Amino acid sequence: MRLLEVSDLTVAFSTSDGVVRAVRGVSFGVDGGRTLGVVGESGSGKSVAALTLLGLSRGANVSGTALFEGRDLLTLADDELRRVRGARIAMVFQDPLSSLHPHYRIGWQIAEMIRAHESASRSAARRRAIELLGLVGIPRPERRVDDYPYQFSGGMRQRVMIAMALALDPRLLIADEPTTALDATVQAQILDLLVGLQRELGTALIMISHDLGVIAEMADEVLVMYAGRAAEVADRRTAYYRPHHPYTLGLLASIPGSAAAGGDHGRPLRPIPGQPPSLITLPSGCAFHPRCRYAMDRCRIDEPPLRQVAGGVAHRSACWLPLNAVGTGEEAEAQRQRVAESGRAASRATADGVT
């Protein structure tokens, strides 16, 4: 059994404008020592899904199951969940400055976190805090432990957040855009740190990011989300070199110099037209169809389920295109266009029929 197994997670929020359907039936899982990369644009539901696991999406209507070490996180009582959160599952957020309290010393904040979960003495917790600061690469931790957050740079603060997350030796670490606010050279330091610590401690990692470069580096398995659903699930190399879903293809083609964009900086990019839909009034059928260059009649009516893609181990895609049309090659592209063309006929020729 996997360390975390989420099935059919659905999260909706009632607002005065209507029901926001943030996550719509998403399943994923991760094992110890492995990394699941979750990619998607703003509003794809990637952060809401993670926050919901930790009981941090207040006021949401949640259904589905999330089995972690044999217990369903979604039905745990508040005090039980509080014992899991921080101790067994930890989280690192995007903005390290707003996640640290400006009035308390760094060391105090780490020690408090330890003492909230374990009966450690003040001095033992402080010693542990110093040790953790050293672990995440902060020079002279025995002196920096008494500094305030403002005395740390952005990268150093994110190291502190990671130290705090690792304080109780969690089995699962959820990192939500941990390097988005940081510069490239600092981002490289933090990613390097996360990989090193994961190797050392065997922690499972869920890495949430909009940055396909970060995911390409970190993930073993990739989950691509769009409008609250899983568009595609695949191992890392398959996701980047043999993608099936037009959204994944489109994301990759939007990146200058990527293989999907022709690997050449000379060509104009091929962006995905339009913008992500409102989660209150979702398009009919496949939520991506208004932006999809291959949209067929069927896509406007039926929402495609995640299906096994031909030739891929655990490669699944939620798209009606033939399951053997993968990758950015000319042949696959020609096939997609042919099928899309015939799928636009008024007669409901299904994509499967053509293959």
The site for other proteins (CB under 8 A) is made up of 41-42, 153-156, 183-189, 191-192, 210-217, 236-237, 240-241, 250-259, 263-273, 275-276
Q: Please identify, using beta-carbon distances, which residue of 103 and 150 lies nearer to other proteins.
A: 150
Q: Please identify, using beta-carbon distances, which residue of 108 and 152 lies nearer to other proteins.
A: 152
**Residue 242 C-beta: closest distance to other proteins, Å:** 12
Residue 230 DSSP label: E
Q: Please identify, using beta-carbon distances, which residue of 127 and 148 lies nearer to other proteins.
A: 148
**Residue 290 C-beta: closest distance to other proteins, Å:** 13
Give the separation between CA 192 and CA 130, rounded to whole angstroms: 21
Give the ranges where the chain is alpha helix by DSSP (H).
Answer: 46-53, 78-84, 96-99, 106-117, 122-135, 141-144, 154-166, 184-201, 212-218, 236-241, 246-253, 330-343, 351-354
Give the separation between CA 336 and CA 324, rounded to whole angstroms: 10
Give the separation between CA 271 and CA 128, rounded to whole angstroms: 49
Count Cβ atoms below 10 Å from residue 9 Cβ, excluding itself. Answer: 23
Q: Which residue has the tokens 């399943």?
A: 27
Strands 316-317 and 307-308, by their bridges, are antiparallel
Give the separation between CA 306 and CA 319, rounded to whole angstroms: 7
The backbone torsions φ and ψ at residue 99, rounded to the nearest 5 degrees and listed phi first, read -95, -10
**Residue 87 C-beta: closest distance to other proteins, Å:** 31
User: Contact 120/114 with Cβ under 8 angstroms?
Assistant: yes
**Residue 322 C-beta: closest distance to other proteins, Å:** 24
Q: Please identify, using beta-carbon distances, which residue of 28 and 226 lies nearer to other proteins.
A: 226
C-alpha torsion sign, points 137, 172, 125, 113: positive
Q: Per the structure block, which two tokens stand in for 318?
A: 């939620």
Strands 89-92 and 172-176, by their bridges, are parallel
Q: Please identify, using beta-carbon distances, which residue of 112 and 211 lies nearer to other proteins.
A: 211
**Residue 263 C-beta: closest distance to other proteins, Å:** 4
Q: Please identify, using beta-carbon distances, which residue of 89 and 191 lies nearer to other proteins.
A: 191
Q: Please identify, using beta-carbon distances, which residue of 148 and 350 lies nearer to other proteins.
A: 148
**Residue 352 C-beta: closest distance to other proteins, Å:** 28
Strands 204-209 and 172-176, by their bridges, are parallel
User: Contact 88/108 with Cβ under 8 angstroms?
Assistant: no
Q: Please identify, using beta-carbon distances, which residue of 62 and 262 lies nearer to other proteins.
A: 262
**Residue 320 C-beta: closest distance to other proteins, Å:** 21
**Residue 272 C-beta: closest distance to other proteins, Å:** 4
Half-sphere exposure of 201 (CA within 13 A, CB side): 23
Give the separation between CA 335 and CA 285, rounded to whole angstroms: 22
**Residue 59 C-beta: closest distance to other proteins, Å:** 24
Q: Please identify, using beta-carbon distances, which residue of 267 and 300 lies nearer to other proteins.
A: 267
